[in-house]
Amino acid sequence: MKQMTPITIANGRILTPSGIEDGALRLVDGAIAAIGQDIAEEGDSIVDARGKLVAPGLVDLGVFAVDKPAFHFGGITRAALMPDQSPMLDLPSRVSYIAKSGKPDFWVHPLAAATRGLEGREIAEIALMREAGARGIATGRKWISDSGVMLRLLQYAAMLDMPVITHAEDAALAGEAVATAGEYATRRGLPSAPAEAEAIAIARDLALAEMAGARIHFRQVTTRAGLDLVRKAKAGGQRVTAGVTPAHFMLSDLATAEFRTFARLSPPLRSEADRGAVREAIADGTIDVVSSGHDPRGPEDKRLPFSDAEPGMAGAETLLAMVLSLVRDEVIDLPRAFDLVSRNPANLLGVDAGELRPGFEADIALVDPDKPWVIQSAKMAATAGNTPFDGQPTQGRVTALWKGGVAIDL
């Protein structure tokens, strides 16, 4: 699938990192050729944007399944796949297969398993997996509890100049917990862990990353204490970035009140105070990335008692709408919203995408930020509709999508 005819998207609101400007965007041979006024040339196919937002396709950092219909619905054109697969992405051959799997209408960027079998003991063949197409190294759903292994991993990653994407929960404290310790977990009799398990894990990993001179990305930081540590490390010049999923800035542990397993997540939902801290961290730049955490789970995993249900949510279709809610709430502006879901994750992965810039990939989304719709789990394009936002009215939809200059059917 290759772009055959130059395309000019005219009469749009062009989103750039510096702001929004009225104009047009020209796409040639799968790349952005020009941005501005009156840039169409003879023979171009003209698309009238009708005043809608012309934005980069979303880059979803850290998903657990490749679910193209759901990603396309949500305006996602690339995703970094976590190594927690069957089989695990701990061999170059598996990474190579995944790197080719979504093309041409969707690009998957595999993340190499940090250790063999994600067991946290023996470092995997990371250099060979990088050659096979891995764009980063990930610890998966678990924290590496052995500090010696983690230090060697970070030193190896620094030598290869690859980011390490880590899960931040002290394993000994988190144990088999399904909720955050506090009033609501106690009242419901749920196995719980202290919120401090996150900050303890972050503190150790920051210290080790500084020793190794490595780039480290905490895939989800969900507590005020954890965010304060990241904020301080950034101020000190450390190469650290942080992410979160919409559930942790939209919901608190109140959402578990009726034992609804769509709210069974990892890390678990936090207190209302921590939810507010996440929103503050998005506003002040402490959080760099908002990802969907897309992890579709069917009834066999979710229609169980809360403590027995598998964690995870189908997040690809709702990612953009939830981030746009932060714009409507005046937490952030539109350019910052797309930094979170496009530009910053693309930069972290080292791909020429996620930004409207000449020479970058023509991964383009036409967005109506005000289009109303209701999230309905039964009607989602994902392989399973396990969303904690089921039934919620929202705004913001992708109305057209191009991958490498080729239109995608929505």
pLDDT of residue 187: 84
Asked, for residue 45, whether it belongs to a domain, the answer is no
Of the candidates 14, 8, 15, 18, which has an alpha carbon nearest to the alpha carbon of residue 38?
A: 8
Tokens 């034992």 belong to residue: 259
**Which amino acid is it at 166?**
T
- What is the pLDDT at residue 282? 98
Asked whether residue 7 is assigned to any structural domain, the reply reads: no
CB 191 within 8 A of CB 305: no
Q: Report the distance separating Cα 45 and Cα 25, nearest Å.
A: 12
- Whether the Cβ atoms of residue 397 and residue 406 lie closer than 8 Å to each other: no
Rounded distance between C-alpha atoms, residue 236 and residue 293, angstroms: 29
In a domain, 24, yes or no: no
Asked if 168 contacts 202 with a C-beta cutoff of 8 angstroms, the reply is yes
Instruction: State residue 69's pLDDT score.
Output: 95
For residue 362, tell me if it sits in a domain.
Answer: no
Structure tokens at 58: 């979303």
- Supply the range of the domain harboring residue 97: 58-356+371-395
The dihedral over CA atoms of 197, 347, 408, 358, expressed in degrees to the nearest 10, equals 160
Q: How many domains does the structure of the chain reveal?
A: 1
- Taking the CA atoms of residue 122, residue 124, residue 126 and residue 129 in that order, the dihedral angle to the nearest 10 degrees is 180
- Do 73 and 317 touch, CB atoms closer than 8 A? yes
* Distance of alpha carbon 393 from alpha carbon 86, whole angstroms: 35
pTM: 0.95
CA dist 120 and 150 (Å) reads 8
Distance of alpha carbon 165 from alpha carbon 218, whole angstroms: 6
In a domain, 406, yes or no: no
Would 47 be classed as within a structural domain? no
Residue 152 domain flag: yes
Give the dihedral sign, CA 201/204/208/214.
positive
pLDDT at residue 17 in the model = 78
pLDDT in tens, the chain (410 residues): 789 899 999 999 999 878 899 999 999 999 999 999 999 999 999 999 999 999 999 999 999 999 999 999 999 999 999 999 999 999 999 999 999 988 889 999 999 999 999 999 999 999 999 999 999 999 999 999 999 999 999 999 999 999 999 999 999 999 989 989 988 888 888 889 999 999 999 999 999 999 999 999 999 999 999 999 999 999 999 999 999 999 999 999 998 877 788 989 999 999 999 999 999 999 999 999 999 999 999 989 999 998 899 999 999 999 999 999 999 999 999 999 999 999 999 999 999 999 999 999 999 999 999 999 999 999 999 999 899 999 999 999 999 999 999 999 98
The H-or-E segment that residue 166 falls in is strand 164-166
CB atoms within 10 A of CB 119: 15
Is 31 inside any structural domain? no
Q: How far apart are CA 372 and CA 381, in angstroms?
A: 18
What is the per-residue pLDDT for 161?
96
Provide the CATH number for the domain around residue 378.
Answer: 3.20.20.140
